[in-house]
Amino acid sequence: MPTVSYINTESIDYSNFSDFIKYLKKAFPLVHKNLKLELINNYSLLYRWEGSTASSDKKPALLLAHYDVVPADTPIAEHGASPSWDYPPFSGAVEEGYIWGRGALDNKTSLIGILEAAEQLISAGFSPKRTIYIASGYDEEIGGKNGALKTAQELKQRGILLDFVLDEGFTIIEPDIFTLLNGPIALIGIAEKGIMDIMITADGEEGHASMPPKNTAAGKLAKAIVAVEKNPFPARIIPTMKSFLKAIAPEVKGITGFILRHSGIFEFLIKKSFALSPTNNAMIRTTQAVTMLKGSEKENVLPKKASAVINIRILPGDTTESVLERIKRIINDKSVKVEVPEYFDAGNPVDESNLKSEGYKIIEESIHETFPGIFTAPSIVLATTDSRHYKDVSENIFRFVPIRINKSNLKTIHGTNERIKEEDFLKVVDFYKNLINRL
């Protein structure tokens, strides 16, 4: 079902979201008989699976997975053909050993996997020792302020504190992506970068391009952009990255392994090495990327205003306030306005969760049981997730989805032909069963 969320919420067809909720009730009858379901803000799901009174001293755990998705193609039709997809993007086709469709990897698979695990466990007579919440937001792809945020606020208002939260973020990454190891690695996100947009707007004289003034709006904007790009944020090895390096160091061979095992001595080299790769570079600094540019509508007309948007991903240790002040200081031009646009809900980073907590141990043990021989390590999630909205109700937030990601299927996330192997989906269910059994 095309549960597509859009920045322009007027474009959202909420009937698809209602239909999806009806589908869940039909597909998982035991879950809906034994768990209490509440709809928060009409479309966000909050299930409560009551634990036994004997273990009431244990705080509840929350399993999180959003069910909204990004668009597939235009126009979007529930079962309509697409010129670029091998199978219709909202058909849920099971063909060639795969389950096809938008959300197969991001992130409906997690929700369906959690509910299927619960369905099977209930059928087998299982009852959890502690109370378990299952939550699913409907607007994660556009920030989560009407879904996850409202749900988290509701839990906080009720005085409910969670032992830990498990959301999407990292996966099992194959060695064609993570080349330092010879085998796959399961990364568990224990921290998350913040996000903000900064709009820079330059003023100038409008008029005909044949008679330009000395300084045009576009020229001022270009100068500001160059200043920003010439001044990247400094590289920092934050505690989360130190934990990551410590975890992988024994598995890395040769001189690279030696350097990682002595990261305190060779921190300068590690920073230099990480800076060479866009992905690794994003793990050691706040990043800034100029994305949207706007100027004149015609080639021979001088614009009165020229603007650009800088998308910022904030490393823990920086804040939205410090980032904004830094950009203003670098541009240092009173004729260029630097601000956070009204449409954007900026968010600070989520600090590191406790590696020694019971929640992390449960997740790690569940990974090892489901995927024997898989190496695990903590890391920082570079994107934003719904879990950031729950930091007021839990000190421990972890981010892991039990699916295998390689270069081939990575490009299908938010791309065409998104799909998951049938056998991999069964592993998703097994993981959540193993996890729930440990709660």
SS3 category, 329: helix
C-beta atoms surrounding 317 within 10 Å: 14
> Active-site residue among 68, 167, 318, 430?
68
User: Can you name the residues that pair with 186 across neighbouring β-strands?
Assistant: 172, 376
Question: Which residue of the set 106, 116, 119, 140 is catalytic?
Answer: 140
CA 102 from chain centre, in angstroms, equals: 16
At position 359, the amino acid (one-letter code) is G
d(CA 318, CA 433): 38
Is residue 424 within 8 A of residue 97, CB to CB? The reply is no
- Return d(Cα 185, Cα 364) in angstroms, integer: 12
Burial class (CB in 10 A: 0-12, 13-18, 19+), 32: middle
The reply to whether 140 belongs to the active site is: yes
Residue 350: DSSP 8-state: B
Residue 205: active-site member: no
Pairing mode of beta strands 185-192, 207-208: unpaired
**From CA 427, how far away is CA 435, in angstroms rounded?**
12
**Residues with a known catalytic role:** 68, 140
